[in-house]
Structure 1
């Protein structure tokens, strides 16, 4: 199966269960991977026969601006919006990483991956 992948989308958001996360916010890295048949657009060279990755980015950006306690919930919203808008998608994978999570210990990020 063919794929469109957006890697390392860097955004800022206010997601988390701790009050400080809601006030201070954090940096996030989002990766989107969608599976679909790209044979037709690869031959025709027509944007109308594929998915414009600019629109995928805008969906992620819009959902990042809606606060969630869990990044799992944020990922689910992103998957739902993408799949609802584009019926030609076979599978969607979203990975969200929170940079410098507020926890004791030396850790760069925590990540979740959601498949649908």
Structure 2
């Protein structure tokens, strides 16, 4: 099995259902595992035979800047964009966590969604 991982990409973004969340923003941490055949790149040492992870990061950064109410929506948008822009990807696993979400009277480290597509 071959995959590329981008781990713990950290963003400050303005997502949330409550107006204050969208105004102040919060910290989000995103992990991606991208499955694709890069065996040819192992031998050629040519970026054209792989996937440019900087391009993936820039795509994620752009989508994280678009305000959403739900982290499920953000995760779905990122997956769709990756599938469109990088058709050689066979499977994507994405985990998106919102750190210290506002939680009426509770203390919670993070809330996260996980999508495998």
* TM-score, length-scaled by structure 2: 0.96
Long gaps (5+) in structure 1: none
Q: What is residue 53 of structure 2 aligned with on the other side?
A: 53
Gaps of 5+ in 2: none
Aligned partner of 2:80 in structure 1 is: 80
Alignment match, 1:107: 108
Question: How many angstroms does 1:90 deviate by?
Answer: 0.6
Aligned length: 116
1:19 Cα deviation from its structure 2 partner:
1.1
Q: CA deviation at 1:57?
A: 0.4
**Are residues 1:27 and 2:27 paired?**
yes
Name the CA distance, whole Å, in 2 between partners of 1:77 and 1:49.
26
**Residues 30-84 of structure 1, C-alpha deviations (whole Å, 9 max, x = no match):** 1111101111101111011110100010011000100010011000110111111
Using structure 1 for the length normalisation, give the TM-score: 0.97
| Post-superposition CA distance 1:4-33 (Å, at most 9, x none) | 100000101011111111111100001111
**CA RMSD, 1 decimal:** 0.7
| SS of 2:69 mapped into structure 1 | coil
Alpha-carbon shift at residue 86 of structure 1 (Å): 1.0
- In 1, Cα distance between equivalents of 2:111 and 2:23: 19
